Structure 1
Amino acid sequence: MTDLRLVVFDVDGTLVDSQADILAAMAEAFGAVDRAVPDRETVLGIVGLSLPQAIQMLAPDLPNPQRREMVAAYKDAYMRLRAESGVEVSSPLYPHVRAVLDALHGEPSTLLGVATGKSRRGLDKLVDGHDLRRLFVTQQCADDHPSKPHPAMLRAALGETGVAPHRAVMVGDTSYDMDMARAAGLLAIGVSWGYHARERLSAAHVVIDDIRLLPGLLAQIWEQSA
């Protein structure tokens, strides 16, 4: 039995604020098939899903070939926008995120990971652009798993680290993150600064309004699960 504990983070809307590029890329994706883009709230509401599932939810009446065209257009636009402005501008870290990640990483028994709807290419660009790769011992992405809220990402993270579900938590900003955590047997910590309104985080065990509260909350959780 390991005494390690695992904190898995969502990325978009939890660690970084990438909404400007998400909205712009989605507008280009809809433009590619001559459709009007949905409103901001609707688009941000699907953040966290893998891209094909997100497109299907936003454009359920389109045939598959057009949805595939939208997926390709979104990917091309997103990569172009990020290349033009750089990761730190395109997807800035939320306030205090780096300090909290560094503090948690400094705890000998705490492992950090990510579980994201991003592609492997997108995740690699982001963690390298912010020099975060060294912090995360497990990195799960959309290329390798079913879309959230399926628990496959978290099950893989547990398998890679050898941590039991009751010694792990999922931190995220969407209902998909909270449902995924529950499905995998993890404690679900919602954050209020992301893309889903607080009322959509009803599956969370707890919701925090400031990431600086996370280390103290985790200390209480680890004590109770010891």
Structure 2
Amino acid sequence: MPLKLVIFDVDGTLVDSQGLILAAMRAAFAEEGLQAPTREAILGIVGLSLDVAVFKLVPDLEQTQRARLVDGYKQSYMQLRAAQGAAQSSPFYPGAFDALTRLREREDVLLGVATGKSRRGLDKLIAGHGLEGYFVTTQVADDHPSKPHPSMIETAMLETGATAAETVMIGDTSFDMEMAAAAGVTGIAVKWGYHPATRLGAAQAMLDDFGALDGALEQIWGLQP
């Protein structure tokens, strides 16, 4: 039986990092003497590569100051994460760890990640939550164009040998669902993340909670528990 590939977004899908993201972005703007964007605006760009995200927040700002905002965000994020710990600053959503563990134990499923995080950030999160060995492919912003470009999914499929029909992308933002559509894979949206359901129209399935994931995969692929 061909192996199935389940790719997860991270922030807003597996873990709730909004407190950390908001605090780091507000600190970066304050350092530049600028008024921070609204909570909704900041959470609305989560998932994009950081330089693209900052551009979307302040497109009229001079390029060198945007670059300082990017660096300031990185520094603030790392300091806050170090003070709180990765698991505490980015806790799992209810049911996330159990869902990952159930899927990891299956012989017919491979797990992957496609995230706007850096490699360093993802590694810290994986270590903080004890997820070493869970993901056979991990795609990060360091190595790819920003979502919704399909590069992350295409590379994950290439690394695992999965076809588009054997792959799903699970995420909380329109960027995740548009990326899935661009790669020709099934997009499964979650309702608990940072984009409202009204922005997730490209999704082919939608989850109210992690308890519904197994049923969604069964419907897509006919997988039995």
- TM (norm. structure 2) is 0.97
Displacement of 1:137 in angstroms is 0.3
**The residue matched to 1:189 in structure 2 has which SS?**
strand
Aligned partners of 2:149 and 2:28: how far apart in 1? 25
Per-residue CA distance 1:120-150 (angstroms, 9 max, x = gap): 1100000111011211000000000000000
Q: Which amino acid aligns with 1:71?
A: V
Query: 2:211: which partner in 1?
Result: 212
Runs of 5+ unmatched residues, structure 2: none
**The residue matched to 1:135 in structure 2 has which SS?**
coil
Map of 1:39-50 to 2, 5 A cutoff?
39-50=38-49
Aligned partners of 2:128 and 2:222: how far apart in 1? 35
Map of 1:8-47 to 2, 5 A cutoff?
8-47=7-46
Could you tell me whether the CA contact under 8 Å between 1:32 and 1:69 is conserved in 2? no
Query: 1:162: which partner in 2?
Result: 161
Aligned partners of 2:63 and 2:176: how far apart in 1? 26
Could you tell me whether the CA contact under 8 Å between 1:17 and 1:92 is conserved in 2? yes
**The residue matched to 2:222 in structure 1 has which SS?**
helix
Could you tell me whether the CA contact under 8 Å between 2:205 and 2:216 is conserved in 1? no
**The residue matched to 2:110 in structure 1 has which SS?**
strand
Query: 2:86: which partner in 1?
Result: 87
Q: Which amino acid aligns with 1:50?
A: S
Query: 2:109: which partner in 1?
Result: 110
Aligned partners of 1:17 and 1:178: how far apart in 2? 19
Query: 2:197: which partner in 1?
Result: 198
Aligned partners of 1:150 and 1:133: how far apart in 2? 27
Could you tell me whether the CA contact under 8 Å between 2:15 and 2:90 is conserved in 1? yes
Aligned partners of 1:16 and 1:54: how far apart in 2? 19
Aligned partners of 1:169 and 1:180: how far apart in 2? 11
Per-residue CA distance 1:53-103 (angstroms, 9 max, x = gap): 000000101111101100110000000001001111100001111111000
2:50 matched to 1:51? yes
**The residue matched to 1:24 in structure 2 has which SS?**
helix
Could you tell me whether the CA contact under 8 Å between 1:190 and 1:204 is conserved in 2? yes
Query: 1:96: which partner in 2?
Result: 95
Query: 1:78: which partner in 2?
Result: 77
Displacement of 1:164 in angstroms is 0.2
Q: Which amino acid aligns with 1:138?
A: T
Could you tell me whether the CA contact under 8 Å between 2:49 and 2:147 is conserved in 1? yes
Runs of 5+ unmatched residues, structure 1: none
**The residue matched to 1:16 in structure 2 has which SS?**
coil
Q: Which amino acid aligns with 2:87?
A: E
**The residue matched to 2:48 in structure 1 has which SS?**
coil
- Worse-matched range after superposition: 145-154 or 125-134: 125-134
Which segments of structure 1 move beyond 2 Å, counting only runs of 4 or more?
Answer: none
Identity of aligned residues (%): 56
Aligned partners of 1:120 and 1:14: how far apart in 2? 18
2:120 matched to 1:130? no
**The residue matched to 1:133 in structure 2 has which SS?**
coil
- Worse-matched range after superposition: 105-114 or 210-219: 210-219
Aligned partners of 1:32 and 1:65: how far apart in 2? 14
Aligned partners of 1:30 and 1:123: how far apart in 2? 24
Q: How many residues align?
A: 223
Could you tell me whether the CA contact under 8 Å between 1:45 and 1:196 is conserved in 2? yes
Map of 1:57-72 to 2, 5 A cutoff?
57-72=56-71
Query: 1:189: which partner in 2?
Result: 188
Could you tell me whether the CA contact under 8 Å between 2:114 and 2:153 is conserved in 1? yes
Aligned partners of 2:141 and 2:100: how far apart in 1? 23
Q: CA RMSD in A?
A: 1.0
Per-residue CA distance 1:173-212 (angstroms, 9 max, x = gap): 0000000000001000000000000100011011111111
